[in-house]
């Protein structure tokens, strides 16, 4: 059983299910197995007395030092500095040199051999890759061209799909549509003539709406017949169908 993480009832000998901190299966009877020793009542009587064998003994608190003979003398590396002159030592005065330092310096520089450059500057104009297009630019250009080709192929395929959805109407179908439209126009014209003689005058909204509907439908059929009378009629299946 998973622990409940509850602290309820931990100070007694009972074991309610909500105090399952140790994840035990058997929760009945006895004291808590997860309770620490002396957790609630403290140490037993006389348990707080000091131990008589753990007192400080003689020469147990002094540190053990290294023998003086084993300690080596500290030596600083490098050339030592010149000692400071003593107070009774006097500097030598009146020293004069016959050397002409200007002439000696000029002669020394004239006769000196020229210094060779330890590392000559690189001539980047003589590199093998000078003037060539870097490889990363070539890679990027190829990737861009591949993307353009993919988009172009998709556009061509889409255009071909649209072209396949448009086709030339056969002549027989065109003549059949014209005949059907003329037949429908004649039926509507008959209704219009009947309503003109028997419904007049148009004194109600319903009569006027029916006459307007017949007129608009006949006009639409006449417009469709004019379109179908052209030599070439192309059908676009992508456009939504229109109703009279």
Which spans in the chain are helix H? Answer: 101-111, 135-164, 171-198, 205-228
Tell me, what's the pLDDT at 1?
A: 53
**What tens digit of pLDDT does each residue of 6-48 get?**
555 555 555 454 455 565 555 555 555 555 566 667 777 887 8
**What tens digit of pLDDT does each residue of 207-226 get?**
788 888 888 998 998 988 88
- HEC per residue, 145-175: HHHHHHHHHHHHHHHHHHHHCEEECCHHHHH
Only one residue has tokens 């500097």, namely 91
Q: Per the domain annotation, does 103 fall within a domain?
A: no
Tell me, what's the pLDDT at 118?
A: 63
**What tens digit of pLDDT does each residue of 110-153 get?**
999 887 766 667 777 888 888 888 899 999 999 999 999 999 99
Tell me, what's the pLDDT at 24?
A: 56
Q: How many Å apart are CA 161 and CA 195, to the nearest integer?
A: 49
Among residues 127, 151, 166, which one ends one of the domains? Answer: 166
**What tens digit of pLDDT does each residue of 150-176 get?**
999 999 998 888 777 777 888 888 888
SS3 content of the chain, % helix, strand, coil (to 5): 40, 0, 55
User: Could you tell me which residue, 160 or 104, shows the higher pLDDT?
Assistant: 104
Q: How many Å apart are CA 168 and CA 14, to the nearest integer?
A: 95
Q: Per the domain annotation, does 177 fall within a domain?
A: yes
Q: Per the domain annotation, does 89 fall within a domain?
A: no
3 with 27, same domain?
yes
What are the structure tokens assigned to 83, written together? 């000692």
Q: How many domains does the chain fold into?
A: 3
Tell me, what's the pLDDT at 17?
A: 45
Q: Per the domain annotation, does 95 fall within a domain?
A: no
179 with 144, same domain?
no
Tell me, what's the pLDDT at 244?
A: 45
Q: How many Å apart are CA 199 and CA 208, to the nearest integer?
A: 10
154 with 178, same domain?
no
Tell me, what's the pLDDT at 117?
A: 65
191 with 211, same domain?
yes
Residue-number span of the structural domain to which 32 is assigned: 1-37
228 with 196, same domain?
yes
């Amino acid at each position: 059983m998973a622990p409940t993480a509850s602290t309820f009832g931990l100070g007694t000998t009972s074991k309610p299910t909500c105090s399952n901190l140790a994840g035990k299966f058997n929760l009945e009877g006895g004291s808590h197995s997860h309770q620490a020793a002396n957790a609630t009542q403290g140490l037993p009587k006389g348990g707080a007395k000091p131990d008589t064998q753990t007192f400080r003994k003689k020469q147990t608190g002094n540190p053990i030092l290294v023998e003086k003979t084993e300690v080596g003398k500290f030596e600083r590396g490098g050339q030592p500095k010149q000692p400071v002159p003593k107070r009774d030592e006097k500097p030598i005065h009146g020293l004069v040199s016959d050397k002409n330092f200007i002439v000696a310096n000029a002669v020394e520089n004239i006769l000196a051999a020229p210094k060779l450059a330890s590392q000559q500057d690189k001539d980047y104009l003589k590199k093998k890759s000078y003037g060539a297009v870097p490889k990363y630019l070539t890679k990027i250009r190829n990737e861009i061209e591949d993307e353009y080709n993919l988009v172009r192929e998709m556009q061509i395929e889409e255009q071909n799909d649209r072209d396949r959805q448009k086709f030339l109407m056969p002549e027989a179908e065109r003549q059949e549509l014209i005949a059907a439209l003329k037949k429908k126009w004649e039926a509507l014209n008959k209704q219009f003539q009947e309503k003109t003689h028997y419904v007049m005058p148009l004194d109600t909204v319903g009569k006027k709406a029916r006459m307007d509907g017949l007129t608009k439908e006949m006009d639409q059929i006449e417009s469709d017949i004019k379109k179908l009378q052209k030599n070439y009629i192309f059908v676009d299946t992508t456009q939504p169908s229109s109703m009279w």
